[in-house]
């Protein structure tokens, strides 16, 4: 008679997904701790504020996320530089929440400037590393 093998034990899942409100509280606490321990201009403090602002947009209000991102863009630009990769990502997130808050024209304007800055940064990086242009682009 055929006897089946016992089923594999269940695989433990990753950390359970926490409700958004709980995530928001945790990220707000992390942002405060980073600010206290590392100072306002530290990249980890800015990253914590970015995560917190995103969760605010998801859980509370896109308009509140826009307010948080508006100051975060200025702080990141000052601390890291306007074309630092983290600043560019924060600018993209800001444009996302501007659109979600109901201002697609302003979001388009922000994204157009972002694309131009990213393209310029890419060209400069390629030149600095002696990488030849592609797709018919000129140096």
Tens-digit pLDDT profile for residues 67-122: 999 999 999 999 999 999 999 999 999 999 999 999 999 999 999 999 999 999 88
Q: What is the pLDDT of residue 19?
A: 81
- DSSP conformation letters of the chain: ---PPPPPPPPPPSSPPPPHHHHHHHHHHHHHHHHHHH-TTSHHHHHHHHHHHHHHHHHT-HHHHHHHHHHHHHHHHHHH-TTSHHHHHHHHHHHHHHHHTT-HHHHHHHHHHHHHHHHHHHHHHHHHTTPPP-TT---
Q: What is the pTM of this model?
A: 0.79
Domain covering 21-128, topology = 1.25.40
pLDDT digits (tens, 9 = 90+) for 28-65: 999 999 999 999 999 999 999 999 999 999 999 999 99
Q: Give the start-to-end residue ranges of the domains of the chain.
A: 21-128
Is 60 exceeded by the pLDDT of residue 138?
Answer: no
């Amino acid at each position: 008679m055929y006897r089946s093998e016992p089923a594999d034990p269940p695989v433990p899942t990753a950390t359970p997904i926490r409700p958004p409100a709980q995530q928001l509280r945790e990220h707000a606490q992390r942002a405060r701790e980073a600010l206290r321990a590392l100072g306002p201009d530290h990249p980890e403090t800015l990253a914590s504020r970015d995560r917190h602002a995103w969760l605010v947009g998801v859980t509370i209000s896109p308009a509140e996320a826009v307010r948080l991102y508006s100051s975060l863009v200025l702080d990141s630009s000052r601390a890291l530089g306007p074309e630092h990769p983290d600043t560019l990502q924060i600018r993209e997130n800001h444009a996302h929440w501007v659109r979600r808050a109901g201002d697609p024209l302003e979001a388009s304007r922000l994204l157009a400037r972002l694309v131009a800055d990213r393209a310029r940064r890419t060209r400069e990086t390629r030149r600095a590393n002696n990488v030849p242009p592609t797709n018919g682009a000129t140096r």
